[in-house]
Amino acid sequence: MEKIISDSLAAGAALGKPVAIPGAPNTYAVVPEGYHLQSLEKHLPAPNRATGTVVMDDADSFIQYFNKHATDSSQIYAKLNPPRFIGVLNDHTLVSAGWKDHCVQYACPFSAEWLEWSKSDGKAMKQAEFADFIERNLPDIVEPVGADMLEISRSLQAKKKVNFASGIRLQNGQTELTYEEEIQGTASKGKLQIPEIFSIGIAVLDGGEAYKVECRLRYRINDAILVMWYEMVRPHKIIEDAARDVFTKISVETEQKILRGTP
């Protein structure tokens, strides 16, 4: 075939007009100026075959597109963290090679809530900044109840000018912070209790189910100044659980055995 193509190129260059290549689709021509092989497929009523990668925003759209175009050679590949699914519609088979260039992809975008909480995970904040963050995201907190967390947030706001001295862990699972403040020229001491653990209920993936995520509340007192942050408990496992739910959904609704990996 290489010799046939080479001879056709030479013939086309000599004649200065398109020459058909025997045994090849009639969609190529030799262009005389510094001649090369050029596709004429764009001039046909339709492409010779489907190609390209379609990117979907949700699992249902991925499933719908895959099922519409799937053949016996089609295969789905997946990664769980970060979650990503690729359906190769023209993959290899046991008896023939496939072009592997007609694909559908779903990258499982994270929800806005997950991005907000994961962005600040482990980020040390000043006392007032942390209080603002909690109040802004109060609807996501499921334990303790919203009213309790709102009270804690407002207490932190009210005590932002006091000097914190120490903190101890209580038997009820809360942390008690001791502070000193000056009221009308007189120094007085006070205590503020905050939970050691709180939980949020948010969707991990955009449009997905909500998950309960535990967060450990941390603090540090430097020169009487309180700094606070939280740490999400094993967030990578929560991402994997959410991806497995999608994994199961796609596998069932496409009737495909999904391969773990990249095509």
Which pLDDT score, from 0 to 100, does residue 19 have?
55
Joined together, the tokens standing for residue 110 give: 């994270």
Query: Can you tell me the distance from the alpha carbon of 112 to that of 65, in angstroms, rounded to the nearest whole number?
Result: 25
Which pLDDT score, from 0 to 100, does residue 113 have?
97
Domain residues for the domain of 85 are 52-105+249-260
Residues 91 and 197 in one domain: no
Which pLDDT score, from 0 to 100, does residue 142 have?
94
Query: Can you tell me the distance from the alpha carbon of 178 to that of 193, in angstroms, rounded to the nearest whole number?
Result: 9
Residues 139 and 173 in one domain: yes
Average confidence (pLDDT) over 89-101: 95
DSSP type of residue 162: S
Calculate ∠ Cα 100-101-106, nearest 5°.
Answer: 95
Average confidence (pLDDT) over 116-145: 92
Residues 100 and 117 in one domain: no
**Omega cis (within 30) before 144:** yes
Which pLDDT score, from 0 to 100, does residue 174 have?
75
Residues 139 and 87 in one domain: no
**pLDDT above 90 for 3:** no
Residues 163 and 222 in one domain: yes
Residues 253 and 141 in one domain: no
**pLDDT above 70 for 23:** no
Is-contact 28 12, C-beta < 8 A? no
Is-contact 237 139, C-beta < 8 A? no
Q: Does residue 138 sit within a domain?
A: yes
Cβ atoms within 10 Å, residue 120: 17
Structure confidence at residue 63 as a pLDDT band (50, 70, 90): very high
Query: Can you tell me the distance from the alpha carbon of 226 to that of 126, in angstroms, rounded to the nearest whole number?
Result: 7
Query: Which residues touch 234 (CB under 8 Å, ≥6 apart)?
Result: none
Residues 70 and 148 in one domain: no
Report the number of distinct structural domains present in the chain: 3
Maximum Cα–Cα distance across the chain? 104
Taking only the tens place, the pLDDT of each residue in 32-48 is: 666 666 777 787 888 88
